[in-house]
Structure 1
Amino acid sequence: MRLPVDPHLYATFLGVMAVMAITPGPANVFSVANGVQRGRVGALLGVVGMNAATLVWFGAAALGLGALVVAFPDIFRFISIAGALYVGWLGYRAWRGAFATAADPETPTVRLGRNAVVDGFMVQIANPKAVLFFTAVLPPFLDVNRPAAPQLALFALATIGMDVISMSAYGLGGAALSRRMSEPRFRRGFAFLTGALLIAAAVLILSRL
């Protein structure tokens, strides 16, 4: 019985993916900020949003993402810039909330966007690391002599599985700190930190364009 993927290639892919998943980048930086601001449930909802975007990227890969990027590079650059600006705006909101609460320390700090899933989706859909992964990292692991759909399904399973573990760990780590958010001074400090993390994520996105 012939397997859907080459076992040796798949094992190598798992190693590469593990390193990429745990490396700090826009998605993991966002997970920390999201966990701090929203707690455990919000952190996990953000992970759902980011991996929904990853599914979109896998769908695009199935349709020939590499060819689309070559044919329409400006469209993908625009998506990344728009996403970076959105993440930067979330960071600005966090900083503005910290300043606003300075006069009234009992006022809760500003939240991120209205929906953790949407925020997570926007971060990952605009992440140049995702474009690099699907256009440069993934193709060498695909066997042209085997059906593409089963291969992509197994690669998606591994990618999303590892990302869920890594993003959740970062997010829940941030959520653990959120328990101290009832302290006004600590809350203001983390509003500044949240803003810094989000703006750092935006800079990371732009620096990879």
Structure 2
Amino acid sequence: MASLPVDPHLYLTFLGVMTVMAVTPGPANLFSVANGVQRGKAAAMAGVVGMNAATLVWFGAAALGLGALVIAFPQVFRLISIGGALYVAWLGINALRGAFRNASDPDAPAIRMGRSAIVDGFMVQIANPKAVLFFTAVLPPFMDVTRPAAPQLALFALATIGMDVLAMSAYGLGGAALARRMSEPRFRKGFALLTGILLLAAAVLIVSRL
């Protein structure tokens, strides 16, 4: 058993924990819904790519000793999270402004987010305090110091990203399914308001975890 990259029992437990974390509504999943409603299926999946690219960055940081960096420079990570929260809040405010500004124009798009769903998704996840908590508090107990760290991190990354892709895609495609009715002015305005509220809620969640 010692020749295995990870302890099988620990890995199964990790999968259970990760499943719960992945499906729980948080900044990433709320963004997925808003992104899917506003931009459709393709952009919803692009947002998933952006968020999981940020997760890979976090895993890279973990491999370089993220826990030690957080302890040494806590304010840096706090500032990153605050910046991310402000960015998400800005997207939400734009959505709310668009809902009222375009209410009288049936052909005008009611929601305006960033230019790139990938960039928006990356920004949401890179600033998510849930990610810092995951890599500093959740992941370390599952690491076995008697085994090489790199293979363990690779398998944990595979499980984490796999679960996140499934959950984020489900949330995003669920939102995109409702986008078919966006040609109806009243429905579009209502979902512009919902998008703004979801994004502002995501920003609040980010700040509340600081």
CA displacement at 1:103 relative to structure 2 = 2.5
Query: Which structure 2 residue ranges, 5 or more long, are not aligned?
Result: none
Superposition misfits of 4+ residues, deviation over 6 angstroms: none
Task: Report the counterpart of residue 29 of structure 2 in structure 1.
Answer: 28
Task: Report the counterpart of residue 119 of structure 2 in structure 1.
Answer: 118
Structure 2 residue matching 1:145: 3-state secondary structure: coil
Task: Report the counterpart of residue 98 of structure 2 in structure 1.
Answer: 97
- TM-score normalized by the length of structure 2: 0.98
| 1:167 correspondence with 2:168 | yes
Structure 2 residue matching 1:174: 3-state secondary structure: helix
Size of the aligned set, in residue pairs, is 209
Which letter maps to 1:50?
M
User: In structure 2, what is the Cα distance between the partners aligned to 1:61 and 1:168?
Assistant: 25
| 1:181 correspondence with 2:186 | no
Task: Report the counterpart of residue 71 of structure 1 in structure 2.
Answer: 72
8 Å contact 1:49–1:121 — kept in the other structure?
A: yes
Query: Which structure 1 residue ranges, 5 or more long, are not aligned?
Result: none
Task: Report the counterpart of residue 40 of structure 2 in structure 1.
Answer: 39
Which letter maps to 1:192?
L
Task: Report the counterpart of residue 15 of structure 1 in structure 2.
Answer: 16
User: In structure 2, what is the Cα distance between the partners aligned to 1:37 and 1:107?
Assistant: 13
8 Å contact 1:10–1:141 — kept in the other structure?
A: yes
8 Å contact 1:28–1:170 — kept in the other structure?
A: yes
Task: Report the counterpart of residue 108 of structure 1 in structure 2.
Answer: 109
CA displacement at 1:107 relative to structure 2 = 1.4
8 Å contact 1:65–1:134 — kept in the other structure?
A: yes
Pairs within 5 Å for 1:56-67: 56-67=57-68
CA displacement at 1:99 relative to structure 2 = 1.0
CA displacement at 1:102 relative to structure 2 = 1.6
User: In structure 2, what is the Cα distance between the partners aligned to 1:102 and 1:139?
Assistant: 50
8 Å contact 1:38–1:111 — kept in the other structure?
A: no
| 1:86 correspondence with 2:87 | yes
User: In structure 2, what is the Cα distance between the partners aligned to 1:35 and 1:11?
Assistant: 31
